[in-house]
Amino acid sequence: MRHVSENETTLLRAEAGHRRHRGCFGCLVQILGALAFGVLVIYALTALLAPWAFYLGGSFHIFPYWQGWGILHAKSGDYPLYLQFEPSYRGGSRMYPTSRLSGIAHLCTPRGQRFRMKLSGDMRLNLPVHTDGEAISFRLLNWPPFRGGFQASHRPLIDLVGHWKNPDLVLDDHSSLHRAFLADGSVIEKTPADLPYKGEVVPVTIKPGTYAEFEEACRAGK
Chain segment 178-194, per-residue pLDDT in tens: 999 999 999 998 887 77
The answer to whether 185 and 76 have CB atoms below 8 angstroms apart is yes
The answer to whether 54 and 65 have CB atoms below 8 angstroms apart is no
Question: What is the residue extent of each domain of the chain?
Answer: 1-49, 54-221
The answer to whether 139 and 159 have CB atoms below 8 angstroms apart is yes
Taking 60 as the threshold, does the pLDDT of residue 12 lie above it? no
DSSP at 62: S
pLDDT at 131: 95
Give a three-class secondary structure readout of 127-143. CCCCCCCCEEEEEEEEC
Length of the chain: 222
Q: What is the pTM of this model?
A: 0.80
Chain segment 66-124, per-residue pLDDT in tens: 999 999 999 999 999 999 999 998 765 566 688 999 999 999 999 999 999 999 999 99
Chain segment 133-190, per-residue pLDDT in tens: 999 999 999 999 877 667 778 899 999 999 999 999 999 999 999 999 999 999 998 8
Residues 75-97 as b/e (b if ≥16 CB within 10 A, e otherwise) read ebbbbbbbbbbbbbeeeeeeeee
Q: Which residue has the higher pLDDT, 40 or 97?
A: 97
11 phi, psi to nearest 5 deg: -65, -40
Classified as helix, coil or strand, 121 is strand
| Residue of 157, 156, 161, 164 lying closest to 201 (CA atoms) | 161
Taking 80 as the threshold, does the pLDDT of residue 28 lie above it? no
pLDDT at 95: 63
| Residue of 5, 209, 177, 166 lying closest to 76 (CA atoms) | 177
pLDDT at 191: 80
Residue partners of 188: CB distance under 8 A and separation at least 6: 155, 156, 179, 180, 181, 182, 195
What CA–CA distance (Å, rounded) separates 172 from 140? 13
DSSP at 146: T
CB atoms closer than 10 angstroms to residue 134? 16
Chain segment 184-220, per-residue pLDDT in tens: 999 998 887 778 888 999 999 999 999 999 999 999 8
Distance between the two ends of the chain, CA-based, in angstroms?
A: 81
Classified as helix, coil or strand, 112 is coil
The answer to whether 162 and 171 have CB atoms below 8 angstroms apart is yes
The answer to whether 138 and 83 have CB atoms below 8 angstroms apart is yes
